[in-house]
Structure 1
Amino acid sequence: MPVDRTADDLLAAVRASPRAVAAHDKDAWVGLFVGNAAVHDPYGSREHIGRDAISRFYNVFIAPNSIVFQVDRDLVTGRTVVRDLRIATTMSTGATVTVPMHLRYDLVESGGAWKIARLAAHWELAVMIRRLLGTGVAGMLAGVKLGPQLVAELGVGGAMGMMRALRGVGRPGKRVVGRLFGAAAQSDADRMAALFDAGAALELPAGQPVGIAEFAALARGMRWEKLIAAGRTVSASVRIGAARGVAFVDFAATSPQVVAVTVFLDRPIAE
């Protein structure tokens, strides 16, 4: 579907990020963010707020490594860009790990340009750790080096905040999402409703609020893959008819009930 000029500009601002990362241009990368921006990477860990914190995040996770973005799809809705991708990271020790990921960028106009106000990186820290250790000695050495770097740049609290990403809805959350999407694919609104918290918010597509029955009707025959549990959110690559996109399913803070479903799509759903 053709995009308007604003969407082009939003995409250009987002695509500047992997270019700066590849060039190891710290000033350019940090400069993509507004002053009070928040980076949630991985989502579910303690966020990094403000350019000073984002600069320290860069020092730990970007500066020592070679990072390649392998993008399958970009989605633009309003002032949000969602990327469906994999990221291959080669550590300073030579260990290379590739993890599936969904990235969400929320942008604002600042000084006549689009800047990132919030970056949420949905990927699974436990998966990254297992794959890193699976590379052998190089992976273990990378892990040994990372600990002191974390503490030196982020402090003990920051290092512990990173480990929060190991908690969250995990596999049980993925199973709930599987049931939710399975019910939606069969247009079974009653089965869907049983999984929602009272007052749950649904958007299909993103930016268009719908009720459970309407969601079920629109999502008939939907397919999904690449479920990622990060914090209390499960994201998934989805397909509804010819439309492809990414869905974010948010869970209540203290229960397995779903409180929000937002589906970003690359085109309207065919009637």
Structure 2
Amino acid sequence: MRTAEGLLAAVQCSPEAVAIHDRTTWVDLYAREGVVNDPVGSKPHRGREAIERFYDTFIAPNTINFHIENDVVSGMSVVRDLSLETIMSTGAVLNVPMHIRYDLVEEDGELKISRLAAHWELRSMIGQLLRAGSRGLTASAKLTPQLIGNQGIGGVLGFMGGLRSVGKRGKEAAAELLKSSPVTDASGQPVSPDLLRGATYRKFIAAGRTVSVTMDGSFGSGVVFIEFAPTSLVAESITVFSTSHRDA
């Protein structure tokens, strides 16, 4: 079950449940103390009840299509490089570039998601809604009472915390760091400079204090996560998930 194939199969159950709006199956994918951090930078949803409210707010009213570009497995984690197409109840369509990290655990003999961390830019998504005309404005008007009803005022403020990120300056700092700074793999081991030589970087996403980046090279594709300090653009860690590091 802990093979790369087993981990990928467990993760794939998530978009499959979303596609058919199977709330129970989707929530059951999470460990008892599971966490959904979506987007990174917002207040995480911890435990079954909070995850159920997350589903009711953001998944149930919408049609969501996952357009997956690449998956990488390392240890007990799967990193998915994708774009998410969300068709709101009003017909407004959003296309959001994203990196998702799923951390899994074995619980009662089954693989469960202990943490989902979705890296995407809330500010950009809101911009898409505003540019979607009357359908986008209506969707925004409907989302607010849904948020308040399911999450409460504290939940609304927690979600809007996703607007705070390292932004453009963080992306620029990440691009410079990737030129010469030490990089580790998911297990914390240093990555050989030979792996990174000639690599190219694209799809920079700033979510909270993290910039995630798609990396392409002779090894295939992967995702790099640059974690910045709470109050500065000093990098606390640079971690790569790549096809050359599939060790599950």
TM-score for the superposition, normalised by structure 1: 0.87
1:191-230 paired onto structure 2 within 5 Å: 192=181, 202-203=183-184, 205-210=185-190, 216-230=193-207
Q: Distance in 1 between matches of 2:91 and 2:118?
A: 23
Q: CA deviation at 1:14?
A: 0.3
Contact 2:227 2:235 in 1 (8 A): yes
Partner of 1:138: 135
In structure 2, what residue type is equivalent to 1:64? P
1:142-181 paired onto structure 2 within 5 Å: 142-181=139-178
Gaps of 5+ in 1: 185-191, 194-201
Q: Distance in 1 between matches of 2:2 and 2:166?
A: 38
Q: CA deviation at 1:133?
A: 1.4
Q: CA deviation at 1:112?
A: 1.3
Aligned with 1:256: secondary structure? coil
Q: Distance in 2 between matches of 1:148 and 1:259?
A: 38
Q: Distance in 1 between matches of 2:169 and 2:189?
A: 26
Which ranges of 4 or more aligned residues in structure 1 deviate by more than 3 Å? Answer: 214-218
1:125 aligned residue (118, 122, 126) = 122
Q: Distance in 2 between matches of 1:248 and 1:75?
A: 13
Instruction: Say whether residues 1:266 and 2:246 are aligned partners.
Output: no
Superposed CA deviations along residues 126-158 of structure 1, whole A, max 9, x for unmatched, are 010111111110000000000011011000000
Amino-acid identity (%): 49
Aligned with 2:157: secondary structure? helix
Q: Distance in 2 between matches of 1:91 and 1:100?
A: 17
1:97 aligned residue (94, 99, 103) = 94
Gaps of 5+ in 2: none
Partner of 1:236: 213
Superposed CA deviations along residues 67-118 of structure 1, whole A, max 9, x for unmatched, are 0000000100000000000000000000010010000000000111100000
Q: Distance in 2 between matches of 1:208 and 1:40?
A: 22
Q: CA deviation at 1:209?
A: 1.6
Q: Give the structure, 1 or 2, with the largest relative contact order (CA under 8 Å, sep 6 or more).
A: 2
1:42 aligned residue (18, 26, 39) = 39
TM-score for the superposition, normalised by structure 2: 0.95
Instruction: Say whether residues 1:62 and 2:59 are aligned partners.
Output: yes
Structure number with bigger Rg: 1
